[in-house]
Amino acid sequence: MVENLDKRFLINEILVDLSNLSVCVDGSWRSIEAKHAALLRLLIANKGQVVTRDAILDIVWPGTIVSDNSVSQLVVQLRKLLGDSSNEPKIIKTVPRLGYQCIAQIKKAPTLLEQVEELSRGRGAQFAMLGFFMGLVVTLLGVFIAKQWQSELQQQPVTATRITSSPGAEVFVRFSPNGNYLAYSYLAEGADQFDLAVYDLETKTTHTIKSSGYSEESASWSLDGNWLIYSRSDPVSCEVRALHVKGPIEMWRLARDSVLGSCNSAQDSAPWLEYRAGHFITKSWDKGGTYLQSVAVTFADNHPKVLNTTALPIRDVTHYQVNQQTLLYQVKEQGVYRLNLGLLGDPERQITTLSKQSFSALSHGYQDDTVIIAKQNLSVLKGREQQLLYSGFGAISEIDVNTHLRASAHTEGVAEINFYQLAVDAQGEALQKQLTSPARMDLLAALSDDGAHFVYASVTAKNNDAPQFELWHKHAFRPTSSLLGTMPLGEVPILLLLSPNNEYLAILSKSHKVYLISSFTKEVKKVVDNFAEIADLHWSQDGRNLYYRAKLSTEAKWQAWQFTVSQGRSEQQPLVTHSSDLSLTQKNSSFVGYKEQVREYLVAALTETIDVEQLRGSLSLYQPAVYRDGVYFVLKRGHQLVLYRYLSSENKVEEIHPIGLHLYAGFTELQVLASFDGSQVIFNRINNYESDIVLLEYGDR
């Protein structure tokens, strides 16, 4: 028996390293989760004895209400990781109606030297020794290269300089090719349109280039540095323009600009990035969502003109950057983020996926084969190695790198995201009031059918990019909110669901777990775990059961489940789901295809009255609210946000009330909620976005 399970040991022929949460099966290392490790420790510690299901629940899920089936699922997953089978077990044996038993041989793992000595006793000792040392050399070389790269990064000083600090927002940063200038847009305090400015990095002075009363955004440079391409918009029109910037910077504001084409003011502006002379990459929209396109432009005789556009087969794009022929971009497909790298003009379109995390900003690095990524902090990514570069003050929303300067510029700042209430009467008149504190970011909420109970999730802190959320409750007849509980660090709620009797709040997290809070005990308890996917989460009419569908793995089939609150456990149900006969008003965003269903419903109903592209862009910004008589939705007109409602029985759309401004697209999806009868409407919006531009210089130029 192994005395210290924190050291490496063997289960049969499987090498186990619990301290690093990994196992080596058939020469391949696999990661395991902490719960798998806890179960394995328990079984090994009681080798040859039966470990009951209750004992597993107590050790693996202490103080947490989970279903008995969670034990079965965890054992299935552990067997799969170890290459074991329930039919012919070699490691974990099922003891019917009792529990599980470890039947494997457990022994200390031999050291590398012991392995070589064992091989040397038989034939092929010389080859074994040679293979051992060759493998050791390759391993050490790989470690040396990785450590050397990290050491070089650590030795290079990073100098941070804040180059703007005025009230308001400075965004859309972009270096000129020669590194002399930095173009950006700024929003003066109290203004509702962006002006275009250029910062001279040599003289350290800012020049306002465009202040026309329109909103000038997303400026980018031609490769020769002679043209600035930017968008200019107002609530009803949008143009892409080219400004000739050859000559003294003091004269640029008087230079002639030319219209390259039109854009949609309901969509967020997108930069035109030149990857070779006369060829640009930009983002566009159609009825299916966002996609990248290549635009061919001529600047002959200083008269810019678009020659043609070609759609690229790259959709659902959130961010993109180009460096010569290399395209770096992030997509979000069916809720999954991917950071990809491809080569423009490659007929085979070979793509390398660098990461499956989501990032708020990205750029090619200042060194070859590196990428700079951002969330709360800036990091450099090379292969699988990631190194912290800079810890920001507030969220980092965009970044641009100039390799000539060995420098980057990024925006960082904070915003208030708060919920507001509209009381709407039969004539459509609305009274607006703020519901939540301006000191927090309130990102998600739920409203009871009668409109009396409002619960919301508020970001409280971030620790190493891991957010923590508080859950609050406000009653319509009470002036203040009360704290229901705090989510575990790093758990991000994506759905809040009040029970029909308003006694319980169910929370679906991004990691596919379900938590439950009682309004009386105010304890956050995890009630559903160990699933790869969860969908169709909803309450029974009496509020005693939670119904949901789940998958044990992404490749597995859906299973129907019922969680009974009084028993604190889930039981599998026949796959004839409880959701098959639910109306759209009874569903929520956890239902497969729900958002698309609502979007297509509105598009089909409003095609004759509202521009479809404008509507689709607005629906990607705000999640609409379906209620008894129709749908509340927000339409973005320029920077103005306006609340509308569609009355299905009368087949008409009504403008309700302006709800504020949306000036920048670097944030999460926003939300509209409605009571069942539609008399109470709640929405969140971004207020007082404050950001500055920070210049980072890496080592010596």
Q: What is the CATH number of the domain that holds 84?
A: 1.10.10.10
Residues 66 and 119 in one domain: no
Q: What is the pLDDT of residue 443?
A: 85
Average pLDDT over residues 209-214: 88
Residue 353 lies in a domain: no
Residues 139 and 87 in one domain: no
Q: How confident is the model at residue 314 (pLDDT cuts 50, 70, 90)?
A: very high
Average pLDDT over residues 566-579: 79
> Model-level pTM?
0.68
The yes-or-no verdict on residue 701 having pLDDT over 70 is no
The yes-or-no verdict on residue 3 having pLDDT over 90 is no
Phi, psi of 368 (to 5 degrees): -60, 145
Average pLDDT over residues 531-550: 93
Q: How confident is the model at residue 465 (pLDDT cuts 50, 70, 90)?
A: low
610, 653 contact by CB (below 8 A):
yes
Percent of the chain with pLDDT over 90: 43
Residues 60 and 105 in one domain: yes
Average pLDDT over residues 248-274: 89
Who's near 628: CB < 8 A, 6+ residues apart? 585, 676, 677, 678
Q: How confident is the model at residue 122 (pLDDT cuts 50, 70, 90)?
A: very low
Phi, psi of 503 (to 5 degrees): -85, -25
CB atoms within 10 A of CB 549: 23
Residues 119 and 44 in one domain: no
Give the range among 6-10, 77-81, 261-265, 281-285 with minimum mean pLDDT: 6-10
The yes-or-no verdict on residue 511 having pLDDT over 60 is yes
Residue 202 lies in a domain: no
Residues 54 and 120 in one domain: no
Residue 36 lies in a domain: yes
The yes-or-no verdict on residue 134 having pLDDT over 60 is no
3-state secondary structure of 637: strand
The yes-or-no verdict on residue 589 having pLDDT over 60 is yes
The yes-or-no verdict on residue 118 having pLDDT over 50 is no
pLDDT, tens digit, 9 for 90 and up, residues 47-69:
989 999 888 888 888 877 777 77
pLDDT, tens digit, 9 for 90 and up, residues 430-444:
677 888 877 678 889
The yes-or-no verdict on residue 279 having pLDDT over 90 is yes
Average pLDDT over residues 129-156: 50
Q: How far is CA 56 from CA 98, 489, 528, in A?
A: 11, 24, 16
Residue 59 lies in a domain: yes
Give the range among 397-411, 512-526, 612-626 with minimum mean pLDDT: 612-626
| Rounded CA separation 284/311 (Å) | 9
| Rounded CA separation 476/435 (Å) | 10
Q: What is the pLDDT of residue 449?
A: 93
Residue 22 lies in a domain: yes
Domain that holds residue 84: 9-109
Number of separate domains in the chain: 2
The yes-or-no verdict on residue 240 having pLDDT over 90 is yes
Q: What is the pLDDT of residue 207?
A: 94
| Rounded CA separation 576/582 (Å) | 13
The yes-or-no verdict on residue 131 having pLDDT over 80 is no
When the pLDDT of each residue in the chain is averaged and rounded to a whole number, the result is 84
Average pLDDT over residues 303-310: 94
| Rounded CA separation 483/486 (Å) | 8
Residue 40 lies in a domain: yes
Q: Tokens standing for 697?
A: 């210089």
Question: Of 427 and 501, which is predicted with more confidence?
Answer: 501
Average pLDDT over residues 450-476: 82
Residues 29 and 92 in one domain: yes
Q: What is the pLDDT of residue 218?
A: 93
Q: What is the pLDDT of residue 128?
A: 45
The last residue of a domain, from among 80, 109, 138: 109
The yes-or-no verdict on residue 119 having pLDDT over 60 is no
Q: How far is CA 613 from CA 282, 404, 636, in A?
A: 17, 40, 11
Nearest to 225 by CA among 238, 242, 207: 242
Phi, psi of 40 (to 5 degrees): -65, -40
Give the range among 192-196, 278-282, 559-563, 635-639 with minimum mean pLDDT: 635-639
* Residues across the chain: 701
Q: Tokens standing for 100?
A: 């599980």
Residue 57 lies in a domain: yes
Q: What is the pLDDT of residue 428?
A: 61
Average pLDDT over residues 469-497: 90
Q: What is the pLDDT of residue 432?
A: 79
Percent of the chain with pLDDT over 70: 87
Most confident listed range (182-196, 344-358, 359-373, 505-519): 505-519
Q: How far is CA 636 from CA 215, 292, 608, 621, in A?
A: 14, 22, 18, 9
Q: What is the pLDDT of residue 148?
A: 53
Nearest to 390 by CA among 405, 400, 380: 380
Q: Tokens standing for 180?
A: 């002399």
Average pLDDT over residues 270-297: 91
| Rounded CA separation 197/216 (Å) | 9
Residue 17 lies in a domain: yes
Give the range among 117-121, 213-217, 280-284, 530-534 with minimum mean pLDDT: 117-121
The last residue of a domain, from among 124, 155, 186: 155
The last residue of a domain, from among 79, 109, 139: 109
pLDDT, tens digit, 9 for 90 and up, residues 147-190:
554 555 555 678 899 998 888 889 999 999 999 999 999 987 66
The yes-or-no verdict on residue 124 having pLDDT over 50 is no
Residues 99 and 13 in one domain: yes
Amino acid, single-letter form, for residue 109: A
Who's near 675: CB < 8 A, 6+ residues apart? 447, 448, 449, 450, 451, 627, 681
Residues 103 and 41 in one domain: yes
Residues 59 and 74 in one domain: yes
Residues 91 and 123 in one domain: no
Q: What is the pLDDT of residue 115?
A: 44
The yes-or-no verdict on residue 132 having pLDDT over 70 is no
Who's near 368: CB < 8 A, 6+ residues apart? none
Residues 55 and 82 in one domain: yes
Q: How far is CA 301 from CA 244, 298, 305, 415, in A?
A: 12, 9, 10, 45
Residues 21 and 34 in one domain: yes
